[in-house]
């Protein structure tokens, strides 16, 4: 089997200016907006008590996003909140004044007018943007990289979006979508990655993702559980990871969890950047063929990168079999635990956790992370399964 690579983060800290993006007050605004959407309901935080005991851990909680707004994916949280904040800014309001019913009112539509929201996606982010735009009476254009699922394309088209699969990789689709947005009348780029000069909308998307972390945190409190000791999270461009890490660091500033970020080996730009140890971003390129399609992104979000380099303890680069392993275990857990049908990208962090606890070659990593029967672990997120994989 292809190996798992991991590295301890030894980069010097920056001034941490981007941590304020995920301030509690901003995340609370995002959650309040999401709660105003008629389809909103809190997604489950599933306790895998028997699996945790089997692996020698205290608790494992999985934030199961397969129920989110009926779209089976968390990314709608980011796209919808970013569109709401954009409309709020253009109409000189705070987003806290614009709940779903106000945003869809004839009065506000007349005031704001019509915009076209452009994005690039493997599927879930684009579907979220298209869904939100459609709900709010706006337009959307979605570009997808080669190899994208036809089913995901069809799901986006159902939201009255213009959508195409291009013959280039994800990062090239981002550039194409941005160029088209700049040329279009009332065109707006809504992308879950950031670069120099394009930071505001990605920061809003990260805040939208914070709804998941805030929900999970509140669910732990209601279960009378202690705060998490470890958070395992996946990264493509890193927006989800930066949002979740940023939330928990702001929530528990004196005693934050230990954070572990995982990537697909073919798109491990964060791992490469930490390994280079020069403080710079190092990109991954090429076709990035992996079953973890949602992580096939080679250029990280610059806002998230700053948060992650300051607060993540371990970065791991994973071959496909680790994600497949995570999917299998979650779908057939230890007797007595709830079954979770997870997507490839969402299962990758859990796959790594199981490997750490069961494989001798990762003993050093287990010791470095101090994973034991006192560990209280959160894995965010799991999305709906696309395929089932079997590896020897």
Q: What number is the average pLDDT over the span 82-101?
A: 96
The architecture CATH gives domain 76-191: 3-Layer(aba) Sandwich (3.40)
What is the CB neighbour count within 10 angstroms for residue 102? 16
Mean pLDDT of the chain: 93
Residue 122 bears catalytic tag: yes
Q: How far is CA 108 from the centre of its chain?
A: 30
pLDDT at 390: 37
Q: At what angle do helices 239-251 and 24-35 cross, to 10 degrees?
A: 120
Q: Containing H/E element for 53?
A: helix 49-55
Q: Tell me the domain boundaries of the chain.
A: 5-74+202-382, 76-191
CA dihedral 60→342→131→292, nearest 10 degrees, is 110
Per annotation, catalytic residue among 75, 135, 139, 386: 75
Per annotation, catalytic residue among 31, 63, 64, 122: 122
Give me the CATH topology for the region 5-74+202-382.
Rossmann fold (3.40.50)
Of the candidates 337, 306, 247, 280, the one whose C-alpha atom is nearest the C-alpha of residue 50 is: 337
Query: Which residues, listed in sequence order, are joined to residue 258 by a DSSP beta bridge?
Result: 230
pLDDT at 251: 98
Residue 135 bears catalytic tag: no
The two domains 5-74+202-382 and 76-191 share their CATH topology (first three levels equal) = yes
> Is residue 37 helix, strand or coil?
coil
386 pLDDT higher than 80? no
Q: What is the CA radius of gyration of the chain?
A: 20
Q: Which residue has the tokens 């709020």?
A: 88
Q: What number is the average pLDDT over the span 216-226?
A: 95
pLDDT at 389: 36
DSSP-derived secondary structure for 102-149:
HHTSHHHHHHH---EEEEE-SSHHHHHHHHHHHHTT-EEEEEE-TT--
Lowest mean pLDDT among 101-105, 124-128, 255-259, 349-353: 124-128
pLDDT at 381: 64
150-189 confidence digits (pLDDT tens): 998 999 999 999 999 999 998 999 999 999 999 999 999 9
Cβ within 8 Å of residue 333, ≥6 positions away? 48, 50, 51, 339, 340
């Amino acid at each position: 089997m292809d190996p798992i690579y991991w590295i301890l983060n030894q980069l010097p800290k920056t001034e941490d200016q981007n941590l304020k993006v995920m301030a509690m007050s901003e995340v609370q605004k995002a959650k309040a907006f999401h709660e105003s959407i008629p389809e909103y309901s809190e997604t489950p935080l599933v306790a895998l008590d028997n699996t945790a005991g089997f692996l020698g851990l205290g608790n494992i909680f999985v934030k199961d996003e397969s129920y989110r707004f009926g779209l089976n994916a968390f990314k709608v949280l980011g796209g919808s909140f970013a569109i709401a904040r954009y409309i709020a800014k253009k109409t000189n309001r705070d987003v806290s004044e614009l709940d779903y019913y106000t945003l869809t009112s004839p009065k506000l539509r007349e005031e704001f007018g019509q915009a076209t929201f452009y994005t690039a996606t493997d599927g879930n982010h684009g579907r979220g943007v298209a869904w939100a735009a459609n709900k709010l009476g706006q337009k959307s254009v979605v570009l997808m990289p080669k190899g994208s699922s036809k089913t995901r394309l069809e799901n986006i088209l159902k939201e009255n979006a213009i959508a195409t699969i291009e013959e280039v990789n994800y990062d090239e689709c981002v550039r194409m979508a941005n160029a088209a947005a700049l040329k279009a009348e009332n065109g707006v780029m809504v992308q879950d990655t950031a670069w120099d000069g394009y930071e505001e909308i990605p920061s809003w998307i990260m805040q939208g993702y914070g709804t998941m972390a805030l929900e999970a945190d509140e669910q732990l409190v209601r279960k009378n559980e202690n705060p998490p000791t470890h958070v395992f999270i996946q990264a493509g461009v890193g927006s989800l990871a930066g949002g979740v890490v940023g939330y928990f660091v702001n929530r528990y500033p004196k005693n934050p969890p230990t954070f572990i970020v995982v990537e697909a080996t073919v798109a491990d730009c964060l791992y490469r950047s930490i390994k280079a140890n020069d403080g710079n971003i190092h990109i991954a390129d090429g076709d990035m063929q992996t079953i973890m399609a949602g992580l096939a992104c080679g250029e990280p979000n610059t806002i998230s990168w700053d948060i992650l380099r300051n607060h993540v303890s371990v970065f791991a680069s994973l071959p496909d079999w680790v994600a497949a392993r995570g999917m299998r275990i979650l779908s057939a857990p230890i007797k007595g635990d709830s079954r979770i049908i997870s997507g490839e990208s969402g299962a990758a962090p859990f796959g790594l956790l199981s490997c750490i606890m069961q494989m001798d070659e990762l003993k050093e990593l287990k010791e470095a992370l101090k994973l034991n029967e006192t560990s209280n672990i959160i894995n965010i997120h799991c999305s709906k399964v696309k395929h089932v994989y079997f590896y020897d």
